[in-house]
A and B are shown apart, each in its own frame.
Chain A
Amino acid sequence: MTEAVQARAAQLFTAFEKRLDHDRAELIANGDTAAGRAGGPDFDAVRFIAHRIVGSARMFGCEDLAEPAGKVEGLVDAGADVSAIVQAVNELAERIELTLSKGLGSPDWNGFPS
């Protein structure tokens, strides 16, 4: 990797870290309120965040988030029981917090042109 690419990669990692922190807050805020909406539960925002984590976690060195995020997405898509979804959302938020406290791992950019 050239120095320019390394610098750009570092910027992207910082941006991802910030977004993940924001995602965690959104999951906590949305999880419970989505479950208790007047017109019925609406987990669209939660699903969107979870789906995005599934697609990006490995690339930014936190592959361990892909599994709990995939679980949230799967439960929402399957129209699972609200309490099960809320529990999965909370688990995901906790895993994110743990990941952020440890710091992101090495990215999986296998095959990135050198």
Chain B
Amino acid sequence: MRARESICQRPGRRPQPEQAATPMRSVVVLDKPEGFDQTSLLLGGLGFNVVPLLDTGSAKGCRVALINPDCDPELEICASLSKICKVLLTTNKRDFSFKIQAVHQGAQGLLSRPLNAVEVFASLEETRKSDMPEARVLIVDDDELTAAVYAMALEECSVRVAVITNPLLAEKAIAEFRPDLVIMDIDMPQASGLDVARAIRLDPQFTSLPILFLSSVSRKEVQEEAREIGGDDFIRKPVDIGYLVKMVRMRAARAVELRQIMARDGLTGLSNHVSFKEALTTELNRSARAQSEFTVALLDLDRFKSINDTYGHQVGDTVIQTFATLLKSSLRNVDVIGRYGGEEFAVILLNANTEQAEATMDRIRQEFERIEFLASDQVFHVTFSCGLAGSKDERGGEALLALADTALYEAKAGGRNCIRTYLPGCGSEF
């Protein structure tokens, strides 16, 4: 089947000005002319700015380089570019000695040829994720001045920090702030940090929350006790700021990765049902505070069961992955995209009213229906239906989803492959 590479056949869409100006959206390619054209078409269609590698200067501002080893047999260019960006080799070579040479020369990944949109996009997405760790750290220390210095140093590394000076408030702070890591002083007048950590661990949902203890207590038994109750490390006061920052970033990054794995759908890499609903609640609260609006979209692939029945589940999975890739490449980074259920997807379009969201979704609808899927020597197309509801129509997440679901039902009833918007106070409401 050629379902994945069928995305290549779409006419290359010109990158939007906003995207072209973003380094994250620029990819430098070293390849033979036909390989470059193919890559350009594939990534151009996904909104990336693809530039040929003429010299090292042409890679300036690019976060990713795609290199065909046939054009760089000794991987010298790979080694040189790896100092300034992530390098992925586009090759079908998979022997272990080649892999060792590749990593030695700084390559960070291998992509099979011919390139397919899902695989390439997943690699580029990984780069984006590592650039934005979004780690959250809670500091529990009764000395507000030293805690403020730790917080300042971590915030300089784009870590979100909350500080509490009363350990008795730790449980409440953890529930509200949802940290990826806790930095805990041990010797505090209100309670021992060791007891506070034990109390936190009593709640099953926090048994794996990393805790980094800080203390000027040098006694070995205290350090051992800290480790026994699941302390991930023990840093002695006075603290070396550089060491603390390194330790926290390393451990928080792992915790964030775990959080992301748990929050993502395995097949598509999109937010899963639970994390999408959490994001919706967050956006409702944010929009109420900022008096901004957003639109929720529920999307359902049309007659998906018959695709699975006719071509098998593997083909069905490819359709789902391709649709997810199209959504990711077509929507903005700020929008939240989730796989809501089997063939159902949900999107939060931030700062967009229902008219704007309808235009966006209709563009995606038109792009999707043009994609050719091939299975069992048969070419087929897939479409989706979409229901929209605006945040101004409802203040509750579940109720808003219910309105979008009602609109989706109308879209299905109206013949599928179309968008319907919930419109309050219009009789039929559509």
Contact = CB atoms under 8 A, between A and B. Distances in A.
Contacts of B152: 5, 8-9
Contacts of A15: 145
A109 B241 contact: yes
Contacts of A104: none
B245 interface: yes
A16 B146 CA distance: 9
A59 B239 CA distance: 8
Nearest to A63: B238
Interface residues of A, number: 27
A12 B143 contact: no
Interface string B222-241: 00000000000000011111
Contacts of B238: 54-59, 63, 66, 108
A65 to B, nearest CB: 11
B393 to A, nearest CB: 41
B53 interface: no
Interface string B141-185: 011011011001100110000000000000000000000000001
B237 A113 contact: no
B219 to A, nearest CB: 10
B9 interface: no
B240 A52 contact: no
Contact of B146 (A2, A56, A70): A56
A110 B240 contact: yes
Contacts of B242: 110-112
A112 B241 contact: yes
A71 interface: no
A19 B145 contact: yes
A56 B349 CA distance: 47
B145 A51 contact: no
Please report whether the interface of chain B is mostly helix, strand, loop or mixed according to DSSP: mixed
Contacts of B148: 8, 12
Contact of A5 (B156, B185, B237, B243): B156
Interface in B197-227: 214, 216
A27 B237 CA distance: 22
A43 interface: no
Interface residues on B, range: 20 to 34
B145 A113 contact: no
A56 B145 contact: yes
A47 to B, nearest CB: 9
Contact of B157 (A51, A54, A113): A113
Interface in A1-49: 2, 5, 8-9, 12, 15-16, 19, 48
B341 to A, nearest CB: 43
Given A12-B148, A109-B153, A55 B241 contact: no
A57 B149 CA distance: 13
B187 interface: yes
Contact of A55 (B156, B157, B237, B246): B237
Given A110-B240, A110-B242, A111-B242, A59 B153 contact: no
B73 interface: no
A56 B149 CA distance: 10
Contacts of A12: 145, 148-149
B156 A113 contact: yes
Nearest to B148: A12
Contacts of B142: 52
A59 B187 CA distance: 18
Contacts of A111: 240-243, 245-246
Nearest to B249: A113
A61 to B, nearest CB: 11
A15 B143 CA distance: 12
B153 A55 contact: no
B427 interface: no
B215 to A, nearest CB: 8
B425 interface: no
Interface pairs A-B: 10 shortest CB-CB: A111-B242, A58-B238, A113-B156, A55-B237, A56-B146, A54-B216, A109-B241, A55-B216, A112-B241, A111-B241
27 contacts: A5-B156, A8-B148, A8-B152, A12-B145, A12-B148, A19-B145, A48-B189, A51-B187, A54-B216, A55-B146, A55-B214, A55-B237, A55-B238, A56-B143, A56-B146, A57-B238, A58-B238, A59-B241, A109-B149, A109-B241, A110-B240, A110-B241, A110-B242, A111-B240, A111-B245, A112-B241, A113-B156
Interface of A: 2, 5, 8-9, 12, 15-16, 19, 48, 51-52, 54-60, 63, 66, 70, 108-113
